[in-house]
Amino acid sequence: MRDAVARTGVAEATLRMWERRYGFPSPQRLASGHRRYSDRDIELIQGVVAKRAAGLSAKAAISQVLARGTQPQTSIFAVLRRRRPDLEARTLSKPLMLALSRAIEDEALAKGERLILFGAFQRERFYRQSAARWRELSRTAEVAMVFADFPRVRRATDAPAEVPVPRADALNREWALVCEGESFAACLAGWELPEGARGPDRRRRFEAVWSVEPEVVRAASRVCAGIAGAHDPELISGALARLDSAAAAPAESQLGVATSVTARTLARLSG
């Protein structure tokens, strides 16, 4: 207990009150009733302290920290579906996925804002085909990171950080693009249907959802940051700081973004 107080800077009585009022933290108890805080508990408490400092109420801070603390997610598609079960997943051809991705990227470039940007490409060779474009995107980005079956982590100053995805992660079969600016957010995520499920034309197909809702996109960003952080916590320290402190993009612009992305997609497909 004394230890927990020392490591978190939260007063003894306060920790007990949180436990009593919000059910958090919930340390192990010795037979005598004495609390034993695990390292994990300490981490979470520090998370709550950070959120409180950012202006959140104790209740909101705790529930947010606990929500995140659940087991790590490795599928962006699944996160979107879980957040918004009402979003209908569509089966999209590869060209359509590409057009949508490019449309979102163009919209981001047009906004000219500092971006937080994640891309999932499955295979390294898919990423290489878009590498020039991603170098351009990353130039004005605050955080830019791409996922694929890279052999190793690579950080660069003039290109997105490359992050290997463990074979066992669901992200390995997903095509995803997550993009947050200050006034704008969008993401697209799809998992690739197995070969057997392709249409008569044998072309690659994805079951996909997309969203321009700031909180939904924010959740996707966190998943990406989590996966990258598992490799190298330093890689995402900056991103996490921004994700924790920065407001999600305002909701009022959603319709405009959706309209614009749709228009760009159609233009690409017909052009």
Partner DNA sequence: TTGCTCCTCACGTCACGTGAGGTGGC
Q: Which spans of this chain sit near DNA (rule: CB under 7 A)?
A: 1-3, 11-14, 16-18, 20-21, 30-35, 52, 57-60
- Reference 169, options 40, 77, 233; nearest CA is 77
Q: Give the single-character DSSP code of 248.
A: P
Measured distance CA(244)–CA(191) in Å, rounded: 28
List the one residue from 41, 169, 180, 213 that touches a second copy (CB under 8 A).
169
Position 24 contacts a second copy (CB under 8 A):
no
Q: Give the single-character DSSP code of 112.
A: T
Position 3 contacts a second copy (CB under 8 A):
no
Position 87 contacts a second copy (CB under 8 A):
no
Residues in the chain: 271
Nearer to DNA, 59 or 82 (CB): 59
Position 111 contacts a second copy (CB under 8 A):
yes
Nearer to DNA, 1 or 251 (CB): 1
Cα–Cα distance list, 92 to 77, 160, 177, 200, 215 (Å) = 14, 26, 15, 14, 24
Position 89 contacts a second copy (CB under 8 A):
yes
Cα–Cα distance list, 95 to 2, 130, 196, 204, 206 (Å) = 60, 14, 19, 9, 10
The site for a second copy (CB under 8 A) is made up of: 43, 46-47, 50-51, 54-57, 59-61, 63-65, 68, 71, 73-75, 77-78, 81, 85, 89, 102, 106, 109-114, 130, 132-133, 136-137, 139-140, 167-174, 182-183, 191, 193-197, 207, 247, 250-252, 256
